[in-house]
Structure 1
Amino acid sequence: MAWGLVSMTLRGLMLMVILLWTVTSTDGGDVHVTCVFSEDCVLPCSFQPDSEEVIHWLKPEDKNLSTIHSYYYSTDQLKQQSQPYRGRTALFNDQIPKGNASLLLRGITLQDQGRYKCYTSTIKGNKESCVNIAVEAPVRLVDIQLSDDIITCSSTGIYPEPKLTWSTDPPSDLSFDPGTIQNSTSIKVDDRGLYDITSTKQFSRDRTNICTVTSGTVERTTTLKQQDPFQGSPSSEVSIPCNVSQSDLMTFDLTWRFNQIVTILTSSYTNGRPQMQVDDQWTEQVQSLSDSGSLQLHKLTMVHQGTYSCELSTARDTHLILTYLQITPGQQSRGRIAVIVASAAAAAVIIAVVICSLLKANTNGPNENGHSGIPLQNGEEREEDIERQEQGQGEEGSATSTILMP
């Protein structure tokens, strides 16, 4: 039995040597695969099925061959696997007898880019094929913010290096306007090797501002437009329109926000059917959402005055519309305010009269008891004031008596 095991081991080693150095058949050109950053990716490889399959996935790195995944003796052999790939690879083992040697590579990183070799061997012979991996982190979101007539467009986590362009609808040429703030674009690389891009420019109020970010074969556009201000009152209903054409759209997301930060509601349309969710803080104010996307509000207060944004997003584009809502008191509110002011004025007059009466009472001179002391509770005077008064009367009587004596 020991000799049989040794024989099998030697045969496996010989098959590996033959596979690595004396390949008998080779496919045509390399297979090119584009993998998405942080997601899983399949590297294809096939062979003529037969018994005693041997599979090796290798990657040339620094003039050496890194072992990505090995399979022989009808099981995975991972003792020689390179460290960066441990726990990240798998074969479709149930498909190997059918000639499928494809490799599943999990959690793609930028370091996974490059050329991979797939070696297969069976009783019928050996085969080599190569797969080239390119990694992309496509543009997923282009964010636009408006502050003090400066519009900022940004996107993060992109690969390869992106490009950002501005335009308007209708087109405009502001290059000869000396008061125009020139575009300012910056690109940074994060610790994963992905690109972040940011650009600012002066906002064109009379046009739709368009920001487009492109990376590789993926392009995404976001537009920003500002509507004329709306007015509303606490006693009335307000309908804020979302003037984005939706007639040709069946699947998209619609989001309403307050001051570009606070989410009011989100509505997802799948095959034209909406599914709306209103934030708890806005359930009392949101009355409904029209088929055209307009936001119906009521029971408003002054805290609801501000900028409302309607954001419509598809797989390729995002359209953002800003509308400023000014809250003005209605007729009933003005009546209540007038009553409150009048009541406050009347109360102030009464208080003033009372204070003047008290001050006058304290400055009228001696009271009916012959002195000006302020009476205590139950009309009693201070004890010391009474003693002082009696003492004064006694001294006055003695002086008079002395003068009248013969």
Structure 2
Amino acid sequence: MTLFLALIAALVLGGGLGWLFLNDPGYVLIAWHQTSVEVSLSLAVLMLVLVSVVGLVGLELLLGVFGLRRIILQWSDQRKVRRAGALLAEGVGLLQRGEAARGEKRLMQAVKLSPHPFAAASIASDSARRRHEFRLAEDYLDMATGAADHLPLELARVRIWIDGGQWEAAAARLKSLHSHYRREPALAELLVDVLIRLQAWEDLAGWMPKLSGMLGHERAVALAVDAHRQIMGWMAQTGSRVERAASLRRLKAYWEAVPAALKQQPDLVEAYAEAMVRQGFDDEAEPVVREALGHHWHNGLIALYGRIRSSYPDEALQQARAWQSKRPQSPLLLLTLGRLYLQNRDWDAARASFEQSLSLGKSTETYAEYVRLLQHLNDPESAHYLVAGLQQLTQRPLPHFPMP
């Protein structure tokens, strides 16, 4: 439509000028010092058009054929890049001085000039995200949309959603991205993190076999251990008491799928064994804990060993005594020994172990076991130790008041 109107306007203008030239051709006088030239108006217009066309053709040849246009564009692009770099540096400096508004403004100016806008947009977005201005943070990222940094841009957006509490949306986007970026560690770490936040244990259990191989560095390993612990705890909680064998098979199958490197983590072994104990499979848990303690001494595992109700408590006690010969001053091992003595109905030895444990380190749990034993023995000292144990739970000692 615009081209048609422009053509009509040109025809009308051309017809009007032609009619004027026919009725009053006029003239043009060109004078220079003592020389003058007089030509008709129509000839002057024709000469002007010819000179303009020749000039435009010459300029196009100069710009195109001889590379002048490329040189000018390169100079213009380089100037924009230098300006964008200066704005980026200035914006970061302002952010470091606490001037968030001015710093983000400079960064957005850099985004408009830079051929790679993601860096400046990401820094501005992180600044807004730290201030919990999540909508503004996402707006900054939108200004870099279309850049080549598609995955980093999407991951930055997901982090905004996570910090803003939009965990369901974050999980959905990460699952969608995973189909295109299956080997991306940062994506795997974020997906595990958000599923833990959602406490979507069943969903997480399905994803962990796919993601475990991507969780290799130190923080990701800790995240993977936490995820596996939570899943096995969920399995123990939801396991059927009626179909106990099926619950145990499910737990063992999940453990088999855990990467071998993670199976060496004592925290994870403890979670696996504790899940079996919670489902009533103490005899299956005992060798797992015993073998793990043979490789790595771990307080959580030694405490769990004392809570296992093995069918052979005498053998468990013998194993704990062997450990005591190497660690005679461990209050936690002495607590475990006391519990194993209880299982073997050796009340005096259990009492002695609890007392020795308390002499090496005060523990509310040890006090509780000791007081329970004294009460069953009808020992009058139980009340005294009960008070001492309860004081372990207070932030400060009880004040001295008159007592009956």
TM-score when normalising by structure 1: 0.23
Structure having the larger proportion of residues in strand: 1
Structure having the larger proportion of residues in helix: 2
Q: RCO greater where, 1 or 2, for CA within 8 Å and sep 6 or more?
A: 1
Structure showing greater radius of gyration is 1
